Amino acid sequence: MITGAPGAGKTVLAVELIMALLEDRALGDPVPVRISASSLDLDEDISGPGAATERVEMWLVAHVMKVHRFSQRAARALVSAGQVVPVVDGLDELDATDQPGYASRAGQALRILNGYQRYRSKAELMVTCRTEHYQALTNDLTWVEGSARVEIRQVSDAQASKFIMDATIDRERWKTVLDTISSASGGPLALALSTPWRLTLAVTVYEQRGNAGFLRDPDQLTADELGTPDAIRDHLLSLFIPAVLYNSGGPYDPGRTHRWLATLAGHLNQNASTGRRFGSRRLSSTDIICMSCGQLLVTEDRES
């Protein structure tokens, strides 16, 4: 179970864990597969672990067929053999309230997943959820049974400073940033760099080097115009794509790449509400309906 505040990096951590499991995977080990919680069919309640297992297995088979292009026979064989570990992302997306209880859609999903675990003799799975949502569920005696919980907590000032010092080549370049974090605990910069992914953004952007030296000065992070955590976040995000593309040496233009990703992000943001549906399915804020992507990108190109 992975929990954390909004923007803490729950999905990022889940993907990192998936990659780590795949890297260490031995022949014959099950494969972790990320799947959106909002794609689980919750229109009908079920009773009993057998029915729950059937519901989850049908869900996994459909996902493996659609996303990974397996035949129905192959997908069913993999799922039936326990070769697919579901990484259920976004339990908090299932309800409009941030205080879901036992009778909520999130509670229903947990009952189904727990039934699946019991029937499959503690089948492996991973779930991500916002801390506040999951605490509300546990307060109503609903949780992922028999699971370890990983909470992504706010990075302390000391931890942020240590990360920067360990991850950078020339600590002197970062002196102003480090001094600001130390002297203004709870200030805009300290808050902006209080999550692992924002720290990674900052180091990636400001450690970028060209033939003539470093391309940016980290002192920019203390500028007056970056006086709020959100302003610092947006600043780092605006520079992240150019930095990554520069480091990779790929053929893509940073401006066009930014517009493409912004178009897709806008599409996801518009569909983030749990009240909207596509057919009989609730829409996820972290998944894209692939058949729509081409139309989105063509639209963006025409507008540009």
Q: Which CATH class is domain 2-152?
A: alpha beta
Q: pTM higher than 0.85 for the full model?
A: no
Which range has the worst mean pLDDT, 132-141, 170-179, 209-218?
A: 209-218
- Is the pLDDT at 258 greater than 80, yes or no? yes
- Partner residues linked to 282 by β-bridges: 277
Residue 275 · residue 93 · CB < 8 Å:
no
Structural domain boundaries in the chain: 2-152, 157-248, 254-303
CA gap 294, 197 in Å, rounded: 29
Ramachandran assignment for 141, one of left (phi > 0), alpha (psi -120 to 50 degrees), beta (any other): left
Three-state secondary-structure class, residue 215: coil
- Tens digit of each residue's pLDDT (9 = 90 or more) over 236-257: 998 998 888 877 777 888 888 8
Q: Collapsing DSSP states into helix, strand and coil, what is residue 90?
A: coil
pLDDT confidence bin for 263, thresholds 50/70/90: confident
Mean pLDDT of the chain: 87
Could you tell me where the beta strands, DSSP code E, fall in 95-254? Answer: 126-130, 150-152, 209-210, 213-214
Residue 238 CA from chain centroid, whole number: 19
Helix (H) or strand (E) holding 163: helix 157-167
| pLDDT tens digit sequence for 94-122 | 999 999 999 999 999 999 999 999 887 66
Judge contact between 64 and 78, C-beta under 8 A.
yes
Tens digits of per-residue pLDDT, 267-278?
766 665 444 555
pLDDT of residue 137: 98
pLDDT in tens, 29-58: 999 999 999 999 998 777 788 999 999 999
Cα–Cα distance, 159 to 249 (Å, whole number)? 32
